[in-house]
Structure 1
Amino acid sequence: MKTALRLLSVLILVFILPSLVSAGLWATQERPARWSEAKWGSAGILPRAAQSPEAAIYVYSAMTGGMKGALASHAWIVTKEKGGEYKRYDKVGWGSSPIRRNHRAPDAYWYSNPPRLVTSVHGAEAEALIPKVEAAIESYPHGEAGGYRIYPGPNSNTFVAHVLRSVPELDAVLPADAVGRDYLPHGAFYALDEDGRDLHLSLGGLAGLSVGARSGFEVNFLGLVAGVDVAPLALKLPGFGTMAWE
């Protein structure tokens, strides 16, 4: 009985309480009432392709709309060949397109929320990695039309997490608020990143853990993530994301 009460106390303190606080803070801020009232245009972060001819890869994430935005974000991938144009890739739940390509500006707002840079690679390194990124996009096992479930996955974050695991040279994991990133392809129980440096265990995206050089130590409970990073040292809490200790 004591063990069960302690476990319940930990769940409340680590997962439930931060989520409620985040939801309360989110509710006090002015937000667009419907998607048609939200900003979806460029946030002006990226230079025009013609002004930046080098090859590049970007992974972005932005909080989503409604009350979901207190806890959940949406991620996407942008590539640009040397001398070429930006190509944006998203997996979304509406429409008949499998993986959406260029349906928004590469650095667009998402439900009026500004994009946050997860990682970027430039120059010769990006040139070498773009084929691997595009192969990972092509190999995403839920990329077909209809291969989307908002919770617990596979969703937009499941897609981007698959690419990051497949191309570990990007050296990144999605933020803790990327609900659905811990759903493993085909509902698998475990996945090991291509370079073997991060291990992920998951019970259908509803519970699990990740441990490794990029993930640090993370526990997933009902899509909410708590954990610690070691390099640099940081705490991860639902609704608040990664908070560095300086």
Structure 2
Amino acid sequence: MHSVRTLVLRLARENTTWGYRRLHGELLVLGVKAAAPTVWKILQEASIGPAPERASSTWTDFLRPQADTLLTCNFFETVTLSGARIHVFAVIEHANRRIRIVGATTHPTSAWVAQAAKNLTMDLEDVGCRARYLITDWDGKFPDLLDAVLADAGHEVALSGVQMPRMNSLMEQWVQTCRRELLDRTLIWNHRHLLHALREFEQFYNTHRPPQGIANTRPLHALPTPIDDPEQISRLNIRRRDRLDGILHEYQHAA
């Protein structure tokens, strides 16, 4: 059984990269109603320093009202144990932070990117996504054919400014999260292993991990009703479920 204090300290010690806002989000996912300053105070009393907060930006403020119409994408690289460089193509929705791993390849040719874009548009159509614009950077991996494929599906490519990563900040932040919480902690054997790990992280990110940028509401699941019963709060029974042999942790109430 766990009190709120012992649960916060357990989560903090088992997840050393989480700041107090991330810990606060995990409590909300579990239905434990505790204020973020309370979490911060518990960490301070235990001499566990919280991660520094990210400053908001005017670009973020501008994007927020347009979120329902925006997607952003990027390629990022990872290296297998054999030294092979694999390029991962990922897309994120601004409105709900849902991530999609579109594909991964050692050779991102124009034909491969075009086919990946077709797969993406079919997926978006299946779930009724209303996004109209896809933000990309000036990476040479994005061919002119990509514009044509997206235009046929009713989407338009919007290029970010040159050397202005903050215009693609959501994707840049997600890539950093993916590296910090998964890729930097995993030995990738081959292409197949990479896709398996990325699919697991995609599902974890979309169904469990609470993004602070949208009030900790998970992309595919709303937050549960907070637990108001003091008796229930004082007798929490939280179980941990591991993904990828313990690289990722999910916390749930015991049945």
Quickly name the TM-score band, shorter chain normalised.
Answer: 0.3 to 0.5
> TM-score of the superposition, structure 2-length normalised?
0.32
Which structure has the larger Rg? 2
Task: Say which structure is richer in strand.
Answer: 1
Higher relative contact order (CA 8 A, sep 6+): 2
